[in-house]
C-alpha cells in the first residue's frame, strides 16, 4: 500500500472493499489507475490524475444504500474502461484523503 502527502492532504491507499465502505459513509475517495499517482507536480503546475468521488456524487443517485453501492461499482467499472490501459495500469486503485 502506498501513502502520499500533498499540500497537507494525506492520500492513503486502501483496498476496493474498504474504499466502497468509506464512500458509503460519506468520505471522499480518490480513484486512480494503478501505475499513476493521485497528484503530480510538474514545475509550477499541478496535475491531478485521479478522480475524487465525494458524498455529493452519491446524493445524486441516492435511493438507498444499495443504490449508492451500485453507483460506486458502476463508476469504478466505467473509470477502468475509459482510463486504465497498458501504460497507466489495467485496474483502478483507491486512496482515502485525510487533511
Burial code (b: 16+ CB inside 10 Å, e: under 16) for 24-37 equals eeeebbbbbbeebb
The low-confidence residues of the chain, meaning pLDDT below 70, are 40, 42-48, 55-69
pLDDT at 45: 65
pTM: 0.81
pLDDT at 72: 86
Distance CA 19, CA 23 (A): 6
**Residue partners of 64: CB distance under 8 A and separation at least 6:** none
Distance CA 99, CA 82 (A): 29
Residue ranges of alpha helices (H) inside 1-99 are 16-24, 55-60, 65-83
pLDDT at 46: 67
Q: Cβ distance 53 to 74 under 8 Å?
A: no
Distance CA 44, CA 24 (A): 36
Distance CA 44, CA 67 (A): 41
Amino acid at each position: 500500500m502506498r501513502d502520499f502527502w500533498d499540500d497537507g492532504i494525506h492520500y492513503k491507499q486502501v483496498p476496493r472493499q474498504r474504499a466502497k465502505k468509506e464512500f458509503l459513509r460519506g468520505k471522499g475517495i480518490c480513484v486512480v489507475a494503478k501505475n499513476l499517482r493521485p497528484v503530480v507536480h510538474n514545475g509550477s503546475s499541478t496535475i491531478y490524475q485521479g478522480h475524487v468521488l465525494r458524498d455529493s456524487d452519491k446524493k445524486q443517485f441516492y435511493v438507498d444504500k444499495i443504490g449508492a453501492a451500485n453507483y460506486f461499482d458502476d463508476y469504478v467499472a466505467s473509470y477502468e474502461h475509459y482510463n486504465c490501459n497498458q501504460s497507466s495500469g489495467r485496474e483502478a486503485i483507491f486512496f482515502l484523503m485525510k487533511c
